[in-house]
Amino acid sequence: MKRSMIVTAGVGLALVVAGCSSGDDAASTPGSTSKTTTASAAPAPTMDMSSFAALPAVPAAAAATVSCEYPAAGQASKPANAPATADVSTAGTATVAMATSQGAIGLTLDRAEAPCTVNSFVSLAEQGYFNDTPCHRLTTGSSLKVLQCGDPAGVGTGGPGYRFANEYPTTAFADGDPAVEEGMVYPRGTVAMANSGPGGTNGSQFFLVYADSVLPPQYTVFGTIDEAGLATLDKVAAGGTASSRGAGDGRPNSAVQIETVTVS
């Protein structure tokens, strides 16, 4: 059975994962038939972030282009072709306009941070993969405040039929560096990939950080959210969640449907 995105809250640390490996009980997923309760509309206060490190600087690109790998993985939730793998640029940005049922969300994707991730997102957007799909999960906890999207099935287990490896900030650390397990601040306005753990498990699911959040640097950062998008996210967060894993973690009460995603 496919693994859904889950949150494990520790002391000052929240862990977000999503993807397509086996082993989880479907009753733990947002789309299950387990009993749900509605959380308070008021988000939890943001925890004191001063004890957590900032994300490291983005390493300089070693070359103007890179080769990417997108091996097949499971069945696609919506028809999609894997992106091109050769001569992927490490420079410049892509501007994304995301029209949703709750308002506009604009993104700027940074190829210097994550060229293979941006390459995948742009490819999926241009194929219409994200059009008419839900943002299936909202978290409003003290250490994790994100909206997650990118699963056409809307249950947290879907993907594009391929997977790929982490990029920045994971790649800013040497193999075996214990710092990769430590909580760091993913600042408000960050766009990052969800995954199901180590081993190159990124697919199509991504999350939008609407308030500073604490995560280990194992979730690829690939862009930022504009002010209009943050206003949309703030509105959604204020509506709270229909919780399936505990207070402040489940489907947003203010349902978010991505209508179209266009790239320029």
How high is the pLDDT of residue 107?
98
* pLDDT surpassing 60 at residue 155: yes
pLDDT in tens, 211-227: 999 999 999 999 999 99
Question: Higher confidence at residue 250 or residue 15?
Answer: 250
pTM of the entire structure? Answer: 0.87
Q: What is the mean pLDDT of the chain?
A: 86
**Confidence category of residue 27, pLDDT binned at 50, 70, 90:** very low
Average of per-residue pLDDT across 146-161: 97
Question: Higher confidence at residue 81 or residue 25?
Answer: 81
How high is the pLDDT of residue 244?
61
Closest of 259, 262, 174, 170 to residue 222, by C-alpha = 170
| CA 203 to chain centroid | 10
State the Cα–Cα distance between residues 161 and 211, nearest whole angstrom. 31
**Confidence category of residue 198, pLDDT binned at 50, 70, 90:** confident
**Confidence category of residue 243, pLDDT binned at 50, 70, 90:** confident
Set out the domains of the chain in order of their start, with CATH numbers.
Answer: 6-20+92-263 (2.40.100.10)
End-to-end CA distance of the chain: 37
Q: At 144, give phi and psi (nearest 5°).
A: -145, 115
- With residue 138 as reference, give the H or E element that holds it: strand 137-140
